[in-house]
Amino acid sequence: MKRLISLATILVLAAVPFHSRAESPASAPSWQDDQLAWRAKRAASLQAPEGWLSLVGLEWLKDGDNSFGSAAGNKIQIAAKAPAHVAVVHFEKGMLRLIAPSGGFPRDLTIDGHAAQEQTLYADDGAQPSKLKFGTFTVIIIHRDERYGMRIKDTEAPTRTGFHGLRWYPPDAAYRIKARWIPYNPPKMLDIPTILGTVSKLPAPGAAEFTLDGQTLRLEPVLEDPKDTELFFILRDATSKTTTYGAGRFLYTDLPDHGLSEPGEIWLDFNRLVNPPCAFSPYATCPLPPTRNRLTVAIPAGEQRYHD
């Protein structure tokens, strides 16, 4: 009898696919605890004072002077509780300069923690983007393709104060998959469409190949920065039509076990698929899945739709 049980156990283990609970520590209770703790941290990050839920505006700058404040005469008008005239951002040939309005800067306006003064501003594509703060507001300049814009956040944004939590699929170890890493030498440049209707180009260092529902699939990640120590997957699957955000979801992973330029293996934990910022705010700018990453199979794992 013992021999029969042992043989049956061996046969069962032999039939388990390579991305199963048997090979992965994902079946352990601690793994589920880690998933829940990670999800709590994700929600806290969204609701942080300068998290995505605090977004209240995105205003694209035009050449010349861009005055902003709550008064109707400003080129960029923001919430009524803001000062009537905050400042002027002069934009010319990619250069940004902060200028005082006719009545001077508001008393509480700071730039990078210091009292406001007329000075050069730096966008978020630089090493140290300038941060303007006044009242409950924070403003940074973003650079997207050929455009520069003012991203405005408010700690009292209704989206932040009214946050009602995230919805998730139950943690499922079957969707923590070991994939084969196929490097691209040299990296391929991918066309990444954006929600703005533009197309960005980002390097794809390789592809992750795996099996799901009997199909062999490939996903191409990109590097947002050459110094990144994680890969960024932008993808959409069949659940986008029903239970997950329609435009797609994001997944960040560790690098492959042998680095980017050598064949190897990489873990894809689809339990950590998350919604892009655009799922929470109309003022976010988001990349959309490239062609290869638009899957026809369903991946019922990770974060579900925030809005019904």
Q: pLDDT per residue over 227-269, tens digit each?
A: 899 999 999 999 999 999 999 999 999 999 999 999 999 999 9
Q: Do 218 and 202 belong together in one domain?
A: yes
Structure tokens, 97:
């300069």
- Check whether residue 178 and residue 275 sit in a common domain: yes
* Residue 233 shares a structural domain with residue 84: no
Burial grade of 155 (CB within 10 A; 0-12, 13-18, 19 or more): middle
pLDDT (0 to 100) of residue 126: 84
pTM beyond 0.75: yes
41 and 169 in a common domain: yes
Residue 21 to residue 15: CA distance in whole angstroms: 12
The number of distinct structural domains making up the chain is: 2
Q: Does 1 fall in a domain?
A: no
137 and 104 in one domain?
A: yes
Instruction: Give every residue of the chain whose pLDDT is below 50, as ranges.
Output: 1-23
Domain that holds residue 42: 12-47+165-293
Q: Which residues, listed in sequence order, are joined to residue 271 by a DSSP beta bridge?
A: none
* Same domain assignment for residues 169 and 157: no
Tell me what pLDDT residue 107 has: 96
Residue 20: the pLDDT is 34
Residues 70 and 122 both lie in one domain? yes
What pLDDT, on the 0 to 100 scale, is given for residue 17? Answer: 33
CA triple 156-141-164, angle to 5 deg? 30
Residue 242 shares a structural domain with residue 145: no
Supply the pLDDT for residue 34.
95
Indicate the residue among 106, 137, 161 that finishes a domain. 161
Residue that terminates a domain, selected from 138, 161, 184: 161
pLDDT tens track for 62-92 = 999 999 999 999 999 999 999 999 999 999 9
Q: What is residue 145's predicted lDDT score, i.e. its pLDDT?
A: 85
Tell me the C-alpha distance between 40 and 56, whole Å: 24
Domain membership of residue 306 (yes or no) is: no
Nearest to 150 by CA among 131, 165, 177, 168: 131
Task: Say if residue 149 is exposed, middle or buried (CB neighbours under 10 Å; 0-12, 13-18, 19+).
Answer: buried
SS (H, E, C) the chain: CHHHHHHHHHHHHHHCCCCCCCCCHHHCHHHHHHHHHHHHHHHHHHCCCCCHHHEEEEEECCCEEEEEECCCCCCEECCCCCCCCCEEEEEECCEEEEECCCCCCCCCCEECCEECCCEEECCCCCCCCCEEEECCEEEEEEEECCEEEEEEEECCCHHHHCCCCCCECCCCHHHEEEEEEEEEEEEEEEEEEECCCCEEEEEEEEEEEEEECCEEEEECCECCCCCCCEEEEEEECHHHHCCCCCCCEEEEEECCCCCCCCCEEEEEEHHHCECCHHHCCCCCCCECCCHHHECCCCCCCCECCCCC
Q: Quick one: pLDDT at residue 55?
A: 97
- Residue 122: give its domain's CATH number: 2.60.200.20
* 191 and 247 in a common domain: yes
The confidence score (pLDDT) of residue 127 equals 82
Examine the domain organization and report whether 275 and 218 are in the same domain: yes
Does residue 215 belong to any structural domain of this protein?
yes
